[in-house]
Structure 1
């Protein structure tokens, strides 16, 4: 049995997982906890930081076999892949490396980060990736970080719950487990 899976570590806790992009409305949605991306200061919500948003361009080794990408100017030769949900990733990263001139209207936009990253894995172009969330792809060699220039944004991933509803023992156990898994991944250099 693998204690890294919540249903093994806490079999008495029932999990229902949804991957909604919209901010959670605890008054309308019947959930105890949400993992939210943003500044962490939502009205009526308590939060705990899970991990910061560290971004960097990534691409497939397939693309690197046909296209040289060792200098920033070489980004002009490839498709920039954009996620609709994370539409400021490219502008933020290019501003951080002081090259906003490389941002164009060209490129391909996808409705989700998952599709954007899959297109990068397939060699379609270069995406800006969330390094923590792509650690398995990077460690497995299906994505390669480029330019050795990660950028930490002010936004992050938080676990959130309504202020007026204290966390139950089960919810607190899940938060503890979740944070321990993230800490373990960060400690392993992911």
Structure 2
């Protein structure tokens, strides 16, 4: 049974959240459509219920305490979760929803073109996407699953392997016209574009070509494949892309492959989900749909 003392009503929490985000009672009142005095009373009511001072009063200003900052982090997350659940229910009262975290370029270039097929096969189910680069705790983030790159080691989660990453080096037609590449060694003095989360990818590519990597890579670090693709198209350097991305750019004539394509990379793509959500219908439908696509070789889009 929940104790009401520790469950302030929503009006108190919204006032607190607005003051913390906006930095002032005046701005919070304007956001909430209330008077300043009403917002001040709501804050005082929250402090009374909790038995804790959340703000210091200084020249008509409210200065958050350290306790308020800690409380705000949890309250803000809880309000986001309630809002997300309400939006999902209103938008899709019968079919359920799937809140999915995904790598940004994978989400836009691989997953998004295939989602209409999933939604068509699962009427009433909605999918909400948000980007994440690194692992997080499913206990503190409002996601049902995550598609990530790695080694299938998400803590305390169930996994479905999608496909191993294979790598294709690419450059623009103009770059290759000025710098013909006849061997892997010819890349030693070229600017090699690297992804922050793939620090050993170029080493894997050189070995896949039967060549030793350079002692020191002349590289530029980027945090997204979309940035790398655009940098290569702009003649900045040589991109090392997952083959499923390289094929798209090659088919469009924006990039050209260098030497042997699709050499084995250092990791794979995975779907991970908390075991506590094994019975969630939209999640299980999505997992089964992904499994069928993987079995059919859907990681290789047609040029």
TM-score normalised according to structure 1 size: 0.84
User: Which residue in the other structure is 1:141 paired with?
Assistant: 253
CA RMSD of aligned residues (A): 2.5
Q: Which runs of 5+ in 1 are unaligned?
A: none
User: Which residue in the other structure is 1:132 paired with?
Assistant: 244
Partner secondary structure for residue 132 of structure 1: helix
> Using the alignment, how far apart are the partners of 1:181 and 1:25 within structure 2?
27
User: Which residue in the other structure is 1:20 paired with?
Assistant: 132
Structure 1 residue corresponding to 2:150, chosen from 32, 38, 45 = 38
Query: Could you list the runs of 4 or more consecutive aligned residues of structure 1 that deviate by over 6 angstroms after TM superposition?
Result: none
Is the aligned partner of 1:97 residue 2:215?
A: no
TM-score normalised according to structure 2 size: 0.55
1:158-177 paired onto structure 2 within 5 Å: 158-177=270-289
Higher relative contact order (CA 8 A, sep 6+): 1
Partner secondary structure for residue 298 of structure 2: helix
Q: 1:36 to 1:144 in 2, by over 3 A?
A: same
Does the 8 A contact of 2:147 with 2:271 survive in 1?
A: yes
Does the 8 A contact of 2:192 with 2:217 survive in 1?
A: no
Bigger Rg, structure 1 or 2: 2
Q: Deviations over 1:139-172 (max 9, x none)?
A: 2222222111532235210111112331422112
Structure number having the greater helix percentage = 2
Partner secondary structure for residue 160 of structure 1: strand
Is the aligned partner of 1:73 residue 2:220?
A: no
Partner secondary structure for residue 129 of structure 2: coil
> Using the alignment, how far apart are the partners of 2:114 and 2:170 within structure 1?
31
Shift, 1:126, TM fit: 0.6
Q: Deviations over 1:82-106 (max 9, x none)?
A: 1112222112222343433425242
* Count of matched residue positions in the alignment of Structure 1 and Structure 2: 189
Is the aligned partner of 1:60 residue 2:172?
A: yes
